[in-house]
Structure 1
Amino acid sequence: MVACYRGFQSVVALLSRCPFLDVNQQDKEGDTALMLAAQAGHVPLVSLLLNYYPGLDLERRDQRGLTALMKAAVRNRSECVAALLMAGADLTAVDPVRGKTALEWALLTDSFDTVQRIRMLLRRPQIEQLSQHYQPEWPALPGLVAQAQAQATPSLLERLQATLSLPFAQFPQEGGVLDHLVTITTSLASPFLTTACHTLCPDQPPALGTRSKSVPELLVQATAQASRESKASPSCLEIPGAQDGEEEAGGGG
C-alpha cells in the first residue's frame, strides 16, 4: 500500500511475483492498494495492478462505500478512471450514502477532465480494431482515387502523396478506448494500428465495462491452448503405416 501511495513502480512490479501477497487487503480506512494508486493519479501503478495481479477486486469499497473508480473520479484522475473502466470497473455502481455514480461524483466535484474522458469512452466503448474480423477502412480514399483518376495531371500517386498528410475529417480514435490503450502501452496513436497489432483474445477485443484477464491468466490460457493444439496435431516424425506394419508382424509371429 505504501508503494502504491508513494508511486514506487519498481516495488509494485517486484511484489507481483509474491504468491502470498493479498492485493485486496485494506487499511484502517478501508483503502486498498488500487484505491491509493488511483486517487493519487499513478497511472503506471494502476496499470500494473490491473494487468499483473490476478484476483484484483475492482469493486472493493472503503469505509464510506466508495470504490477505486469513484475515488479517482473525485480527484479528477481522468487517466486512472479510463484504465479502471477499461479493466471492467462498474460505472453504474453507486455509493450507499449519497447514491451517486462515479460520473455523478465527477460532476459534483467539478472534475471536468474526468467527465469529458468518460463521455468520450462511452462514445467508442470497444476496440473493434483489435478484432480479427475488423476490416480497416478509409472513407476518404474512394473519393480521392476518383478525383485523381478524373484528372490527367498530376498523377494518382502525386495526389495521394499530397492528400495523405491531411487530417481525417473525424479522427477515429481520439479520446476513445483504443486511444487509451495505445497511449498507455506505446505513447503512440494511429488509426492504422490494427495493421500491426495482435491480441491473445482476437474474438473478444477489449471493451468498456468488461472485466479483462490479467497477463498471468492470459499466458496460462495461451500455454494451455498451445499444448492442446500440439497434442492434437500428428508428429512430423511419425511414419504412416509403421504401427500397422508392426501389428501385422506381431500377428504373424
Structure 2
Amino acid sequence: MVACYHGFGNVVALLSRCSFLDVNQQDKDGNTALMLAAQAGHVPLVSLLVNYYAGLDLERRDQRGLTALMKAAIRDRSECVAALLMAGADLTAVDPVRGKTALEWAVLTDSFDTVWRIRQLLRRPQVEQLSQHYQPEWPALAGLVAQAQAQAAPSLLERLQGTLSLPFGQSPQEGGVLDHLVTLTTSLASPFLTTACHTLCPDHPPTLGTRSKSVPELLVQAKPQSYGASMSGPSSLAISAAQDGEEEAGGGLGQAGNR
C-alpha cells in the first residue's frame, strides 16, 4: 500500500512475484493498494496491478462504499479511470450512501476530463482491431471519395481559403478503447492502425467493462497449449526417424543374411 501511495513502481513490480501477498488487503479506512494508486493518479501502478496481480478485486469498497473507480473519478484521474474500465471495472455500480455511479460522481465533482474520457470510451467500447475477423479498411473512405468526385472544381476563392487555412483532420476512430491502448503503450495514435500479431484471445478482444485475465493467468492458460504443440512436433519426428532407421537396419540385415 505504501509503495502504491508513493508511486514506487519497481517495488510494486517486484512484489507481484510474491505468492503470499494479499493484494486486496485493506487499511483502517478500507483502502486497498488499487484505491491508493488510482486516487493518487499513478497510471503505471494501476496498469501493473490490473495486469500482473491475479485475483485483484476491482469492486472492493472502502468504509464509505466507494470503489477504486469512484475514487479515481472524484479526483479527476481520467487515465486511471480508463485503465480501470479497460480492466473490467463496473461503471454501473453505485455507492450505498449517495447512490451515484462513477460517472455521476465525476459530474458532481466537476471532473470534466474524466467525464469526457468516459464518454469517449463508451462511443467505441471494443478493440475490434484485435479480433481475427477485423478487416483493415476505412469504411468511410468510399463515401468520401465519391463525394469528392461528385463535387465541381473549386473556385478561386475556395482555393485561396484552403491555402490560408490550417487543416485539422479528425480521426475516423478518434477516442475509444483502441486509442487508450495505443497511447498507453506507444504514445502514438492513428486511425489506420491495425495489428499483425496473434493475441491469446482473438475471439474476445478487449472490451469496456469486461474483466480481462491477468498476465500470469494468460501464461498459465497458454503454457499447456505451447507445451503440447512442442511435444507433438518432436515426438512425431522422432518416431518417424526411428521407423526409418529400423527399416534401413532391417534392410541391411536382410541383405547381409542373403549374402
The TM-score, its normalising length taken from structure 1, stands at 0.82
Question: Which deviations, in whole Å up to 9, do the C-alpha atoms of 1:20-75 show, x marking residues without a partner?
Answer: 11110000000000000000000000001011111100000000000000000000
Q: Answer yes or no: is the 8 Å Cα contact 2:137–2:192 preserved in 1.
A: no
- Asked whether 1:179 is paired with 2:179, we answer yes
Residue 198 of structure 1 and its aligned partner are, at CA, apart by 3.6
> Aligned residue for 1:193?
193
Which residue identity is paired with 2:39?
Q
Q: Does 1:105 align with 2:105?
A: yes
Residue 235 of structure 1 pairs with residue 244 of structure 2: no
Partner of residue 51, structure 2: 51
Distance across 1 between alignment mates of 2:31 and 2:49: 14
- Structure 1: how far apart are the matches of 2:93 and 2:143? 45
Cα gap change, 1:186 to 1:237, in 2 (>3 Å): same
Deviation sequence 1:164-218 (CA, Å, 0-9, x none): xx876x5133221001111111111123332434422111100001001111111
> Which amino acid letter does the alignment assign opposite residue 236 of structure 1?
L
Q: Which residues of structure 2 form unaligned runs of 5+?
A: 150-166, 251-259
Q: How many residue pairs get matched?
A: 228
SS at match of 1:236: helix
State how far apart, in whole Å, the 2-side matches of 1:193 and 1:127 are.
Answer: 11
Q: Distance in 2 between matches of 1:52 and 1:134?
A: 28
**Hey, what does 2:141 align to over in structure 1?**
140
| Deviation (angstroms), 1:136 | 1.0
Question: For residues 117-170 of structure 1, what are the alpha-carbon distances to aligned partners after superposition, in whole Å with 9 as ceiling and x for unaligned?
Answer: 11111110000011011001123268659979xxxxxxxxxxxxxxxxx876x5
Match of 1:86 in 2: 86
Q: Could you tell me how far 1:240 is from its partner in structure 2?
A: 8.0
3-state SS of 1:242 partner: helix
Q: Whose Rg is larger?
A: 2
1:76 alignment partner in structure 2: 76
* CA distance, structure 2, for counterparts of residue 124 and residue 210 of structure 1: 14
Alpha-carbon separation, structure 2, partners of 1:75 and 1:103: 12
Greater shift after overlay, 94-103 or 226-235? 226-235
Unpaired segments ≥5 residues, structure 1:
149-165
In the alignment, residue 19 of structure 2 is paired with which amino acid? P
Aligned residues: CA RMSD: 2.4
Q: Distance in 2 between matches of 1:146 and 1:239?
A: 62
Q: Supply the distance in 2 between the matched residues of 1:198 and 1:174 (Cα, whole angstroms).
A: 24
Matched to 2:111, the amino acid is S
Aligned AA (2:120)? M
Superposition map of 1:156-235 within 5 A: 170-232=170-232, 235=236
Q: Secondary structure at the match of 1:235?
A: helix
The one-letter amino acid of 1:215's match is V
Q: Which has the higher helix share?
A: 2
The one-letter code of the counterpart of 2:141 is A
Matched residue, 2:155: none
Name the TM-score, length of structure 2 as normaliser: 0.80
Q: Which residue of 2 aligns with 1:162?
A: none
